[in-house]
Structure 1
Amino acid sequence: MASGLDGRGVIVTGAGSGIGRATALAFAREGARVLIADLNAEGAGAVVKEIEAAGATAVAVTGDLSEQSVVDQVVATAVERFGGVDVLVNNAGIMDRMSALGEVSDAEWERVIRVNLTAPFLLTRAVLPHMLAAGRGAIVNTASEAGLRGSAAGAAYTASKHGVVGLTKNLAVMYRDQGIRANAIAPGGTATGMIPDIDGEAHGPKALGPYFGNVGRVAQPEEQAAAILFLASDAAANINGAILPVDNGWAAV
């Protein structure tokens, strides 16, 4: 089945590097018009140039996606440039310090929740009117193995990604009769630039250490992007509310 993505308007967050970059490039190869949303202006601009050099269409909007004004700018730009938003990929995220709950500072908790959970909420809420007006839309969220288990990250990151899983499932139920699908991938270890600032002497990293032997092979960003592209495509037209582990079997251990 064809992807059905040619000419579609797509927003990919965290698209200046890692999984987001690979995802933006994958959509562009399918003929989609891609908005690159990222905090890093240099990285976002480089991806836009890479897409344009291949003959596809892209535009960048930079800023902190946990701020409503930036979210409004992202959606307004996509609607203006593409005529609407057909696909939203909520991929941007940050790691915590692998902190156990008793070690989590207010600042760590609030920032991780704000970026990993509140930003996807804000963006999804902002694109929904446009998808509802069109009678169709696909939302793909990047959750995590930490959204499926308690042994993959610290308290803040784990809570944020469990929240993403819940948000995805609720969206799927609430809007399935309006032509909108919501799914998520749950990546395992992936070769990106996201390196947590860990205090090796803290309780959290010490407690989690024994569980990381189950991670298995580290994936490439392109492997995660392929799963996101599939879930957004017409090939997944009857898949809604799914949380797809892309983890070389870690979730099965």
Structure 2
Amino acid sequence: MNTLPGSRLDGRVAIVTGAARGMGAAHAHTLAAQGARLVLTDLDQGELDAVAKELREDRHAEVVTVAGDITEPQASARIIDAAITTWGRLDVLVHNAGLMHNFTTLADTTSDQLQPYLNVNVLAPFDITRAAVPHLRRSDAPRVIFISSQWGQVPDGHSYGYMVSKAAQLGLMKALAQELVTDGILVNAIAPGAVHTRMIPDHYYEAEVAAVPLGRLAEPSEIASAVAFLASDGAGFITGQTIPVNGGALLVGI
């Protein structure tokens, strides 16, 4: 991997949620390649252990894992404590965990069906960030990075839980950026389009590709490159922004 000036993260500690596969695992590999030490969290301990093993073998990374549901009441404390107990610091928080599309119309959607999306995509990141801020204030380069979605910017229909929660996530990012800037904590979001992971159903794949002017889906590593940039010193004058990584999809109104 090429290293740009100001991109190294040597000695910094990063938390990545939803890190057991797909984009989360890619974020972990990219951050580790830049020298970050990692706390990885997800639901499945076995999958987390597999990613951690790869990182230690391929990147010689320092990694700890915390398996569990980020929406549980004690999850925030457990995740933050893993960083502080192990390394005594926290520098980067990557909110990657999320629930995907439910593909229902208004008539088929109830407010109760929205709640799990809000819990995972908005409320859990709020709680984790709130717990992290006292430690981020002590960092010399504190960052909070949300993995949102282009569908939080421009709805694509029939996925109310996902789209409403991703739009709310962007609102949360801006509110945090506005308040925390006085502490030097930079808060930004990345808004991917469709990404080549197993979260894209096979029957939906061709339609997703057709909607992207570049004619393909993003690879997880391409989203991870944007994460690494926002975590780096090179992004030290960026806050409150949503960075689109969508192959030009919004150029055609998707």
Kindly indicate whether residue 111 of structure 2 is the aligned counterpart of residue 114 of structure 1: no
Task: Please give the residue correspondences for 1:203-214 in structure 2 after superposition, counting only pairs within 5 Å.
Answer: 213-214=210-211
Query: For residue 225 of structure 2, what is the aligned residue in structure 1?
Result: 226
Of 129-138 and 177-186, the range deviating more from structure 2: 129-138
| Secondary structure at the counterpart of residue 247 of structure 2 | coil
| Secondary structure at the counterpart of residue 103 of structure 1 | coil
State the shift of 1:109 in Å.
1.2
CA distance in 1, matches of 2:184, 2:158: 34
State the shift of 1:214 in Å.
2.4
Query: For residue 158 of structure 1, what is the aligned residue in structure 2?
Result: 163
Of 64, 68, 71, 1:59 maps to: 64
State the shift of 1:195 in Å.
4.2
State the shift of 1:134 in Å.
3.7
Query: For residue 43 of structure 1, what is the aligned residue in structure 2?
Result: 47
The Cα offsets for residues 12-66 of structure 1, whole Å up to 9 and x where unpaired, read as 0011000100000111111110011111111111111111113110011010001
| Secondary structure at the counterpart of residue 157 of structure 1 | helix
Of 158, 174, 195, 2:179 maps to: 174
Kindly indicate whether residue 142 of structure 2 is the aligned counterpart of residue 137 of structure 1: yes
State the shift of 1:3 in Å.
1.6
Kindly indicate whether residue 90 of structure 2 is the aligned counterpart of residue 85 of structure 1: yes
Contact 2:141 2:233 in 1 (8 A): no
Task: Please give the residue correspondences for 1:16-31 in structure 2 after superposition, counting only pairs within 5 Å.
Answer: 16-31=20-35
Which one-letter code corresponds to 2:219 in the other structure? Q
CA distance in 2, matches of 1:212, 1:20: 22
State the shift of 1:96 in Å.
3.0
Of 91-100 and 127-136, the range deviating more from structure 2: 127-136
Task: Please give the residue correspondences for 1:168-207 in structure 2 after superposition, counting only pairs within 5 Å.
Answer: 168-195=173-200
User: Percent identical across equivalent pairs?
Assistant: 38
Pairwise CA RMSD: 2.2
Contact 1:94 1:194 in 2 (8 A): no
- Structure 2 residues not aligned, in runs of 5+: none
How many residue pairs get aligned? The number is 244
Of 8, 22, 27, 2:12 maps to: 8
Contact 1:95 1:194 in 2 (8 A): yes
Query: For residue 202 of structure 1, what is the aligned residue in structure 2?
Result: none
The Cα offsets for residues 195-219 of structure 1, whole Å up to 9 and x where unpaired, read as 4699xxxxxx9xxx99984234201
Of 13-22 and 67-76, the range deviating more from structure 2: 67-76
State the shift of 1:126 in Å.
0.9
Contact 1:96 1:112 in 2 (8 A): no
CA distance in 1, matches of 2:61, 2:156: 41
Change (3 A) 1:27 1:211: closer
State the shift of 1:119 in Å.
1.3
Which one-letter code corresponds to 1:23 in the other structure? H
User: TM-score, with normalisation over the residues of structure 2?
Assistant: 0.90
Runs of 4+ in structure 1 off by over 3 angstroms are 133-136, 195-198, 209-213
- Structure 1 residues not aligned, in runs of 5+: 199-204
